[in-house]
Amino acid sequence: MSAQVANSGELTSVLQVADVRLRLFRRGSGGTPVVFLHGFGGDLFSFRYHLVQLAKEREVVAFDFPGHGGSSAPQHLSGIPELSRLLEQVLVELGVGTAHLVGHSMGAGVALEFASRMPQQIASLTMLAPAGLGPEINAEFVEGMARAATASELIPALHRLFYRASWVNEGMLKPMLEQRQVPEFCQGLQQTARELHERGVQCWQGREKLAGLGMPTRILWGREDQVIPAQHLSGIPGTVATHLFPECGHMPHVEAALDVLRVLREGFC
């Protein structure tokens, strides 16, 4: 692991895993670690509030997926199965044996894929607006996030993330536009977008994996999600706890941050 570097007022480090350079956040101590996995087009700081709060009472870990945030963008690591195998390598490198997994959207798909392959390593699984539980996904959002180079192109995609448009502000836009000045970053996003959907149909499906999970599992969703419809909750196995937040879009951990924190804490034991 390299020397630590400052980013957005938080202390992060760089973890090298094979040919991938990953930006890493690791804080706190005690208890079973909680590992956070962000969604497409985002980065680990989308969980900033929960990382800071939970680090006061236990170890928390988050990293940027390849082609996102401060991580490098190798073209062979863009699909959910590949990212699941990368997660396995990250946990080995960090010496994390058992963890609570919390994933959002694409990151939730990665978490579900990993939990189905390595159930002995998962204390609990929490998925927010998960990918892979139904066919539909908003293609305009995915392509907008992947190809936007200017504020006028990016803002409509970001508005689809939230129930209230006021969440999209200069503080959110500025770092995302700066990232889009880096060709490697743009290429990585576009490759990941191709792995996520084809003409608005999700490429990876993991719904059948839910029935075989042995660990406590929760799904949290915003009722007004414009990216992946909350109707994908229909028919979920009764062993999976579900939480549907009103007046909330694709980012429940942002728009309903306090409620999500409460659900997370109740699930950690």
Distance of alpha carbon 67 from alpha carbon 191, whole angstroms: 9
Mean pLDDT of the region 140-150: 94
From residue 48, give the alpha-carbon distance in Å to each of 7, 14, 33, 36, 72. 12, 18, 16, 10, 21
Mean pLDDT of the region 244-250: 98
Mean pLDDT of the region 220-232: 98
Strand partners, 241: 218
User: Residue 185 pLDDT > 50, yes or no?
Assistant: yes
User: Residue 3 pLDDT > 80, yes or no?
Assistant: no
Mean pLDDT of the region 190-215: 94
Q: What is the pLDDT of residue 6?
A: 36
Identity at 219, one-letter amino acid code: I
SS3 128: strand
Q: What is the pLDDT of residue 223?
A: 98
The pair of structure tokens assigned to 197 is 């959907």
Task: Classify domain 5-134+204-267 at the CATH class level.
Answer: alpha beta
Distance of alpha carbon 212 from alpha carbon 239, whole angstroms: 10
Q: Which of 36-40, 179-183, 205-209, 251-255 has the lowest mean pLDDT?
A: 179-183
User: Residue 179 pLDDT > 50, yes or no?
Assistant: yes
Percent of the chain with pLDDT over 90: 81
SS3 209: helix
Mean pLDDT of the region 246-266: 97
Distance of alpha carbon 244 from alpha carbon 254, whole angstroms: 14
220 burial (CB, 10 Å; 0-12 / 13-18 / 19+) is: buried
Q: What is the pLDDT of residues 62-99, one digit of tens each?
A: 999 998 988 988 766 679 999 999 999 999 999 999 99
**Within 133-196, where are the H helices?**
139-147, 151-159, 170-179, 183-196
